[in-house]
Structure 1
């Protein structure tokens, strides 16, 4: 294996990442799951992170590489694309390969022999709990793994940006009144914590963040009408009857949901709704995923109190809850979302900022206030 890493964050996070994978692999084995990726050791984790970090700062024809590295041998990668000669794992090599493997779902396979790491090819298929390192932009690395049921977004373990390290705090999901969306994002490793309804909200959040324009999504009760008091009327882009493309997919028999055609249709409907959040104003959907309106303007109902404070948290190790004024947490989107949830306490507001920040606003009965859960660390 190469000498000591020169990227300090790589060494600082390696042991914690090894422990994460070891604990979850052990739990999965106890549950009878035998199809698991090999356990990455701290030294190898450190080397992979170090190499990928320096590769992210290089450019090929003026473009920074966007790559995903998966730590597993080719015999465990389904039908891999194998290089005739394996390539040494170096920052220069990753930069050269970057343009050909930047599409989502393509992973460069990394393995070792006699403690020397190498790239053996590419794969579209990886096993549960496979150590994956994504490089979405220069200096930004995301350590993650596939969930046990192999569908939906990967579970994030840690995010490294320059010298900043954020390790996901899985215990945050045990907070009182924690929104089920956040609980699911934190509990990706536990299949029992996952259901299709929450999966859809997770995918909507990912798609909202991906378009990069910022936006707001309001989730309101299907059989309630009080939310209309918090929306300026008439709504310019009200939908009548409610659009049920996504809702109809979710009503299909569970046996259909494992088919690739259904999953492609689901992603198309999710992107359809998430794309509308780029329009000025909020998208409104029911908790049964019917599209009710987009471009909606949030207002404070007559006689309602102005929201003056809320609790803000981020599910990373070392973070603690703080009480802040909503205006200090973000821009007008965040302030209006906090006001909406303050007035419509059975609703949920998802807010994406143009800079990538993503926040879930939910009413917390135990704290008797709006709780802002910042989750962009989980969505990368």
Structure 2
């Protein structure tokens, strides 16, 4: 297979920006993402090639990592700053745009907080005009956080994350990544699928019933709740857990099992052998407690503010600066960290679909039937698949395949040490897997 280099990558990105996407579903998935302007191919190649050369260098033995934004400094209001704006600070004299300047600047721009500002001067020559402080909230949001933040403008942004590794984005929307001489497009976002939220329908109904019971006790003075809020916040919990595991680089497996199977799993069973289990009490079910508290608090806060004529939901939650909601969101974030940390022990973390943490260090039984062939999903619903033998994957994946083959109402999330994420489920007669965000901002 031929290798790709900056010129190939620039052509690939330019074709996408001009409406000729090579990744077949890119245009449909990102139809609302349009750049403010499209740089010419020559300019884009210069931009990418220079960043590529800088990525191969080191600054005092430190790897060169940075974010870069292609936008004129006048486009940033001079009186703003994080967390609700961008603090742009302009050099008295623009610096040359070359790999040595990028290398020297890289230690000064914290990857998660700052960007290097680049724009063409009147004759079209690219210059480094200064720095842009964005703040780190975008990272928590990408990982499923509940903090509002000022999104990057719809302009080209490059992420240099390692030698020869560059991701091209429009704002926070990734187009593709150049890594190891290969160009990779974003994979399917499983959270957009119908099958995943449908698997949790009963558990969401239970949460809504608990919320409605609390509403009746409080005299119905609350704002009405958007029923989709439960689904959204549940997805963000899982995103947080997965994002934290990926950033740890040790990998891990999360198993979601139906609540009605708790007794089976907590006794001697043919599926898993636990190293550690938890006592059945409220702390084991803390996710459920906090989710209901968040639903109740959201409706209380907006009800007291006089909101009665519309449902409140995720956007209201993210935008709110109410201290009670902020505290609950922090509690949720800490719980996500707890679950992610449990994956550091060999074996799986086992949870119910109510997000009840049963135990960790769970070794999936080797006595379960081996799975020699699985199906790789080519679309969100898994209606289009292709067969794949299991010889090429590690023990963690093969054990998840065995479990889902035997326990067909389970869902496994397998995170590799290199950051790849795979959702596994019995689907339409086969063990099926979906690669999730195999190349995205989460990779950073």
131-140 vs 113-122, which deviates more? 113-122
Report the counterpart of residue 38 of structure 1 in structure 2. 36
For residue 162 of structure 1, report the CA deviation from its aligned partner.
3.6
TM-score where L is the length of structure 2: 0.66
Q: How does 1:172-183 map to 2 (within 5 A)?
A: 179=196
Would you say 1:268 and 2:331 are equivalent positions?
no
Is the 1:59–1:95 Cα contact (8 Å) retained in structure 2? yes
What secondary structure, in the 3-state scheme, does the structure 1 residue paired with 2:59 have? coil
Matches within 5 A, 1:1-380: 7-19=6-18, 27-28=31-32, 38-43=36-41, 44-74=43-73, 75-76=75-76, 78-85=85-92, 86-114=94-122, 115-119=124-128, 120-124=130-134, 125-127=150-152, 129-145=154-170, 154-168=172-186, 179=196, 195-225=232-262, 228=265, 229=269, 231-233=271-273, 235-240=274-279, 241=281, 243-251=284-292, 252=294, 253=298, 254=313, 255-259=316-320, 261=326, 263-299=329-365, 305-312=369-376, 322-326=386-390, 328-365=391-428, 368-375=429-436, 376-378=438-440, 379-380=442-443
CA contact 1:18–1:45 (8 Å) conserved in 2: no
CA deviations on 1:196-249 (whole Å, 9 max, x unpaired) are 22222223222111111121111223444387245434x331122353444444
Root-mean-square deviation (CA, aligned residues, Å) is: 3.7
Contact 1:101–1:107 (CA under 8 A) maintained in structure 2: yes
Using the TM superposition, give the Cα deviation of residue 116 of structure 1 relative to its aligned residue in structure 2, in angstroms: 2.8
Distance 1:200 1:87, change over 3 A: farther
* Conserved 8 A contact 1:112-1:118: yes
Alignment correspondent of 2:212: none
Q: Secondary structure at the residue paired with 1:329? A: coil
Q: 1:121 to 1:284 in 2, by over 3 A?
A: same
3-state secondary structure, aligned to 1:250: helix
* Distance in 2, Cα, partners of 1:24 & 1:89: 34
Q: 1:63 to 1:312 in 2, by over 3 A?
A: same
CA distance in 2, matches of 1:155, 1:250: 29
Q: Distance in 1 between matches of 2:27 and 2:14?
A: 12
**1:291-326 deviation line (CA, Å, top 9, x unaligned):** 22111111267xx643221013578xxxx9542232
Is the CA contact 1:226–1:344 (under 8 Å) kept in the aligned structure 2?
no
SS at structure 1 position matched to 2:418? coil
Number of corresponding residues: 343
- Tell me how far 1:139 sits from its aligned partner: 1.2
Per-residue deviation, 1:180: 5.9
Cα separation, partners in 2 of 1:347 and 1:174, compared to 1, 3 Å: closer
In structure 2, runs of 5+ residues without a counterpart are 78-84, 135-149, 199-227, 299-312
1:38 is paired with a residue whose SS is: coil
**Contact kept? 1:364, 1:370, Cα under 8 Å:** yes
Could you give the per-residue CA deviations for residues 78-137 of structure 1, whole angstroms, max 9, x where no partner exists? 331403333333211111111122342432233333333333212215435443221221
Q: Is the 1:246–1:289 contact (alpha carbons within 8 Å) kept by the matching residues of 2?
A: yes
Shift of 1:285: 2.2
Contact 1:9–1:163 (8 Å) recurs in 2: no
TM-score, L = length of structure 1: 0.76
Give 1:264 deviation, angstroms: 4.5
